[in-house]
Amino acid sequence: MLLLFVLLAMVPVYARVQAEPFYVILFARVLIFAIAALSLDLILGVAGLVSFGHALYLGIGAYAAGILAQHGIDNGWVHVGVAVGMCAAVGLVTGLVSLRTAGIAFIMITLAFAQMGYFLAVSLKDYGGDDGLPLAAASRFGSLSLADPVTLYCVALAMLALLLLLGRRMLKARFGMTLAGIRMNPRRMRALGVATLHYTLAAYVSAAVLCGLAGVLLANLTQFVSPSTLSWTTSGELIVMVVIGGLGTFAGPVLGALAMVLVEEGLKAATEHWMVYMGPLIVVVVLVSKRGLIGVLQELDARRARGATRTRPADGAHR
The DSSP-derived string for 148-184 is: SHHHHHHHHHHHHHHHHHHHHHHHHSHHHHHHHHHHH
Give residue 96's pLDDT: 93
Residue type, 239: I
Residue 202 domain-assigned (yes or no): yes
CB contact at 8 A, 54 and 212: no
Which sign, positive or negative, has the C-alpha torsion 246, 252, 253, 255? negative
Phi and psi angles of residue 133, each rounded to the nearest 5 degrees, phi first: -135, 120
Give residue 273's pLDDT: 77
Residue type, 305: A
Residue 307 domain-assigned (yes or no): no
Give residue 126's pLDDT: 86
- Find the distance separating the first CA and the last CA of the chain, reported in whole Å: 37
Give the domain extent around 230. 2-254
Residue 194 domain-assigned (yes or no): yes
Strands 144-145 and 140-141: antiparallel
Q: Which residues of the chain have pLDDT under 70?
A: 289, 311-319
Phi and psi angles of residue 161, each rounded to the nearest 5 degrees, phi first: -60, -45
Give dist(CA 250, CA 35) in Å, integer: 10
- The three-class DSSP label of residue 145 is strand
Give residue 319's pLDDT: 47
Closest CA to 241 of 197, 286, 196: 286
Give residue 39's pLDDT: 92
Per-residue model confidence as pLDDT tens digits over 157-187? 999 999 999 988 988 888 889 998 988 888 8
Query: Chain centroid to CA 79: how far?
Result: 19
CB contact at 8 A, 199 and 42: no
Strands 224-225 and 140-141: unpaired
Give residue 247's pLDDT: 85
Residue 178 domain-assigned (yes or no): yes
Tell me the CATH number at 166: 1.10.3470
Residue 173 domain-assigned (yes or no): yes
CA separation (Å) from 217 to 116, 152, 220, 285?
23, 7, 5, 29
Residue 286 domain-assigned (yes or no): no
Instruction: Annotate 234-274 with DSSP letters as a single string.
Output: HHHHHHHHHHHH-TT-SHHHHHHHHHHHHHHHHHHHH-TTH
Total structural domains in the chain? Answer: 1
Per-residue model confidence as pLDDT tens digits over 195-208? 889 999 999 999 99
- Give 68's contacts (C-beta < 8 A, 6+ positions apart): 74, 78, 79, 82
DSSP 8-state code for residue 75: B
Residue 277 domain-assigned (yes or no): no
Residue 305 domain-assigned (yes or no): no
